[in-house]
Structure 1
Amino acid sequence: MSDRTSVALSLSDQLWRRKPIAAQKGGPELQRSFGTFQLMLFGVGATVGTGIFFVLQEAVPDAGPAVIVAFLVAGVAAGLSAICYAEVASAIPVSGSTYSYAYHSLGEFMAMVVAACVLLEYGVSSAAVAVGWSGYLNELLESLIGWHLPDALSYSPIPYEDNTTGIVNLPAVALVMMCMVLLIRGASESARVNTIMVMIKLGVLLMFVVIGFTAFKSDHFSGFWDSGASGISAAAATIFFSFIGLDAVSTAGEEVRDPQRALPRAIMGALFVVISIYVLVALAGVGAQPAEKFSDPEQQDAGLSKILFDITGNHVSGTILAAGAVISIFSVTLVTVYGQTRILFAMGRDGMLPKRFSAVNPRTLTPTFNTVVVAIVVSLIAGFVPADYLWDTVSIGTLIAFIVVATAVLVLRRTQPDLERPFRVPGYPVLPLLTIAVCVYVLSGLAAVTWIIFACWLAVVLAFYLLWGRHHAALNRGEVADTEVPEGDRS
């Protein structure tokens, strides 16, 4: 065998080696402080609000009244994925979410592909929500005191559809910095604050549903299918990023008590709440306002508040909803920033990033360095990039992560049949395969420019891995024993 062949085989073995299930952890560990209910609300906190408060104005112009179907399509895909997440999370209850699952089931190279997806997913979604939060803050200030921040401090310098520009989106930057401070204080404190904010969020959205149905008109659903399948798939692709909260639950695998039982229960509970509230708000919104009005530029910021004003003729209910959004959407950014820091922590512990990323504050047992780094990067994106450029970029990362989890179920059932699984996917293997098919369908609705952006980001991450990460992996140093290499890659 030539040296060239030996090197190629050695590189192949490294790319496809798997981290052993028996060695899920190693190195610094996080404090277990979450219960099932708090963990479920982490998922709800990262999800409800992102889709409804903002994306309705983005999705209705694509699908028209059939946006209801788009929500259901996205919900079905998320539901199937949630069931797959529940099995893998119960078997591998560690930090790192999909990245860790891929490392254990599909190998090191695929783990880095997934890392690119989830880091993009969490980083960009945090920024997108922070930008949308800025609109609700100005709406609230206008309602309460008749004043709002000037455009120079409310918009990025990059123009989009309405060509409104500014210097920096200051409220978005401030929101990210507040999340950073809270997360540095500790995970348990963050979970308590998130619980309060989620309850406020659900309360104001249920208020919207009740008021919206008082103005419900069935003729707003005329021409229901006019946008066709392409419009529904495009809207579903935009909506899908709002289901990121289901993935956020699994990033806390090492910070929850009794994770093998709590993780599946939290994921399924969050899914039920999310789909229910999304469909109710979408029905109430489209029933109360003609679909064509959602594309009105005046409806783009704080759109739900404006719908309430049109219904009631006064600002009271709209002000309450805007206040609830300002308070509760904080939780979306809080959880997505949290999720990204835990993925970086897992990568640092595996040697895929510098050791600094696996450092834990000895007092709070949280990755403080990661929190500061993520906050700086996200605040720069939120301050200087319009949200319109961000929505679909998040969806592609979420969808690919969901596909990987479904694939992990199939692979682990074959390679680790005796692995303890407190929760098992029903209807195996049909359900994981159906999950993959639905996610691929939703991916087909994404624009070409989204794929180009994703391909560029993926190239950067994989180049870093090939040039640095694979040489510093913890598996190289024997820190995790008995590396698993797929049979087909062994010589």
Structure 2
Amino acid sequence: SLKRDVGLFGSFAMGYADVGADVFISLGLVAAYAAGASPLAFALAAVAYVTTGLVYAELSSTYPHAGGAQVFAARGLNDPLSFAAGWMLLLTYTVNIALFAMASAGYLSRLVPAVSSQVSAGPLELSGIQLTALLMTLGLTAVNVKGIRESSALNEAAVMLGLAVQTILLALGLTSLDPSRLASQLAEFGSPEAGMASYLPWGEVRVQNFLYGTTLAMCSFIGIESIAQAAEEIKKPHRWIPRATVFSVLAVLVYTIGLCLVGLGTVGWRGLAERLESPLSAVAERLPGGTLLTPVVSLAGFAVNLVSANTGVVGVSRVVYSMGKFGLMPRWFSAVHPRFRTPVRTVVVFGLIGALMTLLGGIEEAADVYAFGALLSYVLVNASAILIRRRDRRAYRPWKTPLNLSLGDWELPLVAVAGLASCSAMWALILLLHPVGRGMGTLWLAVGALVYAGYRRAVGLPILGRVSGEGVRPAAYLMDACALYLGDVPPREFGRAVSDALDPRFRVRLVAPLPRGAGAAEEAEVLREALEEAASLVRGARVVEVRVEPGDPEEVAVREAELADLILLVTADRGLARRISSALPGRVSVVGRW
């Protein structure tokens, strides 16, 4: 099995490295099409990002398996759609490796101009950026073979540098930008010039360019699932995954939209568009101390894009490892190195493929395919979240998305509904406006369908159905407990004892047995007041009912055991505790007070 070796900041760094790095290249791409409306394009794309990020936080902490979207689709949908989600992520992460390795090399060329020179190897002509990206990817592959701790340490160091530099840029930019220039830039809605979009016969060019720019803005928000890929390697997934995801979402939103406004107010959208490979360096040159700041920004861009490529290596290797583990691809891919505890075969195979892809070049075309694959997987994740809520009603969810609509015995996650709608709309725009993404993405899906059908037939598994989904289980289930209050300990002590004994997985009923006889009504009122006081002190477990029940303690315990998974006794009477435990073997937990 994989080794749990990643902490809270490592989890955050993994998510931020993959998402936060996008601003170093996407500012120029988005500005080239959305023009002065770039902040609006980022804001619209952020709807899909925020909702999907929150859904990932819930699902990954509930089902802490490597694989992310593929695992959730297996549980919520079926095996063919699970394979499709994993297959598209395989494409996305492999493209991610090449895309950000090239971006990292582009920023490095600002520091070392020789990197951008042409290199000849016999009949083969390569740019220095391509060759540098190739060597970087091979180095990252070696690091990931060694272990997730080393890979995470690289992420953490680069992310700290990136956050520091982006904070400086944002602070200097907001205090020195020209408000009148920013206002005039914001008034330019969409570029008036035709670009690479697949333009529709109706609609103005500016409007279509804005929509195209909005789809490119999704590149700034793709990668939130990276934290989910390492769910099997995060030390406390039920705690760290939701926190790391929420922190990543907030940080990315602040820096992406903030730096976009700074860019418009300093160099303008045309200035950003002219520097596709290093737009933040163009911004730094216009700020106070730009001569000193520009090389620092280039260094941060180099480092953050490098670790974004690193998260691509981590992501694709874990996706394919998980697909092999759950029977969607050959089990050969699920092998784990006995010493390093890494999925060594998938790391090497897909690291090499990513390295070779750097030789293709074409940063905008790569972004096309990157968005196609990721958005389709996000659509499936949000759909899975809705169905999983109904299928696994009793799953223990350490963290849930806000805004849930109660429908009888299950809750509809409205955040997932919004995520499904927004991601579907974005994916539809990709199909309409991105010819490269549409063509290559569709071809990749067709190839995947053949691979999946061929493999399932070869191993004797049905093509349809939910064979893989049956192997996906939540880390824990909700349990029902009944805590019996026998009146021989103070109510406050009883409440604290229930808190200490039961964690948030439990729904607890506080029940006080009431022996039949004279004065029962007055005694029942006293017991009810004691239970109410105790209930106000219970933390962790959720109190669902407070009740006085006629009958002696043993009789009530047996009746309550028909509805509860656990009977909790808080009592000073050792003999009574022994009798109830004997009547309900294996069902009673005793908190003794003797």
Give the distance between the partners of 1:457 and 1:192, measured in 2 at CA: 33
Gaps of 5+ in 1: 1-28, 159-164, 485-491
Pick from 198, 211, 224 the counterpart of residue 187 of structure 2. Answer: 224
Moved more, 97-106 or 304-313: 304-313
When Rg is computed on C-alpha atoms for both structures, the one with the higher figure is: 2
Mark the CA change 1:396 to 1:221 in structure 2 (over 3 Å): closer, same or farther: farther
Whether the aligned pair in 2 keeps the contact of 1:201 and 1:329 (CA below 8 Å) is: no
Q: Secondary structure at the match of 2:284?
A: helix
Greater RCO, 1 or 2 (C-alpha within 8 Å, sep 6+): 1
Q: Deviations over 1:385-436 (max 9, x none)?
A: 3212110211122212222111111111222211221122222333222111
Pick from 420, 431, 443 the counterpart of residue 456 of structure 1. Answer: 443
Mark the CA change 1:220 to 1:368 in structure 2 (over 3 Å): closer, same or farther: same
Give the distance between the partners of 2:110 and 2:120, measured in 1 at CA: 14
Mark the CA change 1:109 to 1:293 in structure 2 (over 3 Å): closer, same or farther: same
Q: Secondary structure at the match of 1:351?
A: coil
Give the distance between the partners of 1:250 and 1:361, measured in 2 at CA: 21
Cα shift at 1:350: 2.0
2:550 alignment counterpart? none
Give the distance between the partners of 1:54 and 1:482, measured in 2 at CA: 38
Cα shift at 1:348: 1.4
2:345 alignment counterpart? 369
**Structure 2 counterpart of 1:467, one-letter code:** G
Give the distance between the partners of 2:352 and 2:132, measured in 1 at CA: 14
1:45 alignment counterpart? 17
Mark the CA change 1:342 to 1:292 in structure 2 (over 3 Å): closer, same or farther: same
Q: Secondary structure at the match of 2:357?
A: helix
Pick from 366, 377, 386 the counterpart of residue 401 of structure 1. Answer: 377
Mark the CA change 1:464 to 1:59 in structure 2 (over 3 Å): closer, same or farther: same
Whether the aligned pair in 2 keeps the contact of 1:31 and 1:254 (CA below 8 Å) is: yes
1:268 alignment counterpart? 246
Q: Deviations over 1:283-312 (max 9, x none)?
A: 11111112122333xx22322213322445
Pick from 343, 350, 359 the counterpart of residue 383 of structure 1. Answer: 359
Pick from 238, 252, 263 the counterpart of residue 216 of structure 2. Answer: 238
Cα shift at 1:233: 2.8
Give the distance between the partners of 1:315 and 1:383, measured in 2 at CA: 32
- RMSD across aligned positions (CA): 2.4
Moved over 6 A (4+): 473-476
Cα shift at 1:341: 0.3
Mark the CA change 1:97 to 1:335 in structure 2 (over 3 Å): closer, same or farther: same
Whether the aligned pair in 1 keeps the contact of 2:71 and 2:82 (CA below 8 Å) is: yes
The sequence identity of aligned pairs, in percent, is: 23
Cα shift at 1:315: 3.2
Moved more, 337-346 or 217-226: 217-226
Structure 1 length normalisation: TM-score? 0.84
Structure whose residues are more often helix by fraction = 1
**Structure 1 counterpart of 2:8, one-letter code:** T
2:166 alignment counterpart? 205
1:81 alignment counterpart? 52
2:65 alignment counterpart? 94
Whether the aligned pair in 1 keeps the contact of 2:53 and 2:245 (CA below 8 Å) is: yes
Pick from 422, 430, 434 the counterpart of residue 418 of structure 2. Answer: 434
Give the distance between the partners of 1:310 and 1:473, measured in 2 at CA: 63
Give the distance between the partners of 2:96 and 2:348, measured in 1 at CA: 17
Structure whose residues are more often strand by fraction = 2
Pick from 37, 51, 75 the counterpart of residue 66 of structure 1. Answer: 37
1:175 alignment counterpart? 136
Give the distance between the partners of 2:128 and 2:149, measured in 1 at CA: 36
Pick from 131, 135, 150 the counterpart of residue 189 of structure 1. Answer: 150
Mark the CA change 1:416 to 1:229 in structure 2 (over 3 Å): closer, same or farther: farther
Moved more, 342-351 or 220-229: 220-229
Mark the CA change 1:197 to 1:473 in structure 2 (over 3 Å): closer, same or farther: farther
1:250 alignment counterpart? 228
Cα shift at 1:122: 0.7
1:392 alignment counterpart? 368
Give the distance between the partners of 1:231 and 1:237, measured in 2 at CA: 10
Whether the aligned pair in 2 keeps the contact of 1:153 and 1:168 (CA below 8 Å) is: no
Give the distance between the partners of 2:252 and 2:80, measured in 1 at CA: 33
Q: Secondary structure at the match of 1:419?
A: coil
Whether the aligned pair in 1 keeps the contact of 2:106 and 2:302 (CA below 8 Å) is: no
1:7 alignment counterpart? none
Whether the aligned pair in 2 keeps the contact of 1:233 and 1:441 (CA below 8 Å) is: no
Mark the CA change 1:43 to 1:440 in structure 2 (over 3 Å): closer, same or farther: same
Pick from 7, 10, 27 the counterpart of residue 56 of structure 1. Answer: 27
Whether the aligned pair in 2 keeps the contact of 1:102 and 1:408 (CA below 8 Å) is: yes
Q: Deviations over 1:325-378 (max 9, x none)?
A: 222322111111101100111111123222221111111100111111111100
**Structure 2 counterpart of 1:316, one-letter code:** L
Structure 2 length normalisation: TM-score? 0.70
Moved more, 436-445 or 111-120: 436-445
**Structure 2 counterpart of 1:439, one-letter code:** C
**Structure 1 counterpart of 2:18, one-letter code:** A
Whether the aligned pair in 1 keeps the contact of 2:330 and 2:455 (CA below 8 Å) is: no
Give the distance between the partners of 1:406 and 1:313, measured in 2 at CA: 45
Mark the CA change 1:481 to 1:129 in structure 2 (over 3 Å): closer, same or farther: closer
Give the distance between the partners of 2:215 and 2:468, measured in 1 at CA: 41
Give the distance between the partners of 1:79 and 1:482, measured in 2 at CA: 26
Whether the aligned pair in 2 keeps the contact of 1:350 and 1:474 (CA below 8 Å) is: no
Whether the aligned pair in 2 keeps the contact of 1:233 and 1:442 (CA below 8 Å) is: no
Give the distance between the partners of 1:90 and 1:306, measured in 2 at CA: 40
2:118 alignment counterpart? 151
1:307 alignment counterpart? 283
Q: Deviations over 1:140-195 (max 9, x none)?
A: 113xxxx44413479xx89xxxxxx7488101101111111111111012112211
Cα shift at 1:199: 0.2
Give the distance between the partners of 2:237 and 2:231, measured in 1 at CA: 6
Aligned pairs, how many? Answer: 438
Cα shift at 1:60: 0.4
